[in-house]
Amino acid sequence: MKNNTCKQWLIFMLVIVLVVLAAHYLKSLSTVLWTSYQWVHAVLAPLFSGRGVGPIILGVLSLGLVPVVIGAIPAGVYWILTKKQFPYFWPLVWAVLLVLATLLMGHV
C-alpha cells in the first residue's frame, strides 16, 4: 500500500510541475475553450426564448455540445487512421467538461 501512495504522490508532483511549466499554453487552451463555448452559446441563443426554461436549455446544450465536439475531433482522426473506436473519448469529454464548467463558474 505504501508503494502505491509514493507513486501517486510522485505523479501528483509531476503534474503540478508540468502545469507550472506549461501555464502559458494552458491559458491559451482555456481561452480557446471559453471562446468556443461563447460562440456556440451565441449561435444557439436566437433559437431559445429568454424566459422560462429557454435559458436553461440553452445553457445545457452549449455546455454539452462543446466537450462532445472537441472530443469528436481526435476521435474522428483516430477512426480515420485506424478504423477503430477512440478508446479515451468519454474520459476526454469529461475532462473538457470539467475544465469548461470551471471556466463557466469564473464568469458567472
Task: With respect to residue 87, please indicate whether it lies within any of the assigned structural domains.
Answer: yes
Task: With respect to residue 10, please indicate whether it lies within any of the assigned structural domains.
Answer: no
- List the domain range (segments joined by +) for residue 42: 23-107
Task: With respect to residue 16, please indicate whether it lies within any of the assigned structural domains.
Answer: no
E-strand stretches of the chain: none
> Is 41 in contact with 62 (CB distance < 8 Å)?
yes
C-alpha–C-alpha distance, residues 78 and 92, integer Å:
13
Task: With respect to residue 44, please indicate whether it lies within any of the assigned structural domains.
Answer: yes
| Average pLDDT over all residues of the chain | 91
What's residue 60's pLDDT? 93
Task: With respect to residue 40, please indicate whether it lies within any of the assigned structural domains.
Answer: yes
The mean pLDDT value for 76-96 works out to 95
Q: How confident is the model at residue 108 (pLDDT cuts 50, 70, 90)?
A: low
pLDDT digits over 21-71, tens only?
999 898 998 999 999 999 999 999 999 887 889 999 999 999 999 999 999
C-alpha–C-alpha distance, residues 8 and 94, integer Å:
21
Q: How many domains does the chain have?
A: 1
Task: With respect to residue 90, please indicate whether it lies within any of the assigned structural domains.
Answer: yes
Task: With respect to residue 30, please indicate whether it lies within any of the assigned structural domains.
Answer: yes
Terminal C-alpha separation, the chain? 42
Q: What percent of the chain has pLDDT over 90?
A: 76
C-alpha–C-alpha distance, residues 93 and 74, integer Å:
11
Task: With respect to residue 89, please indicate whether it lies within any of the assigned structural domains.
Answer: yes
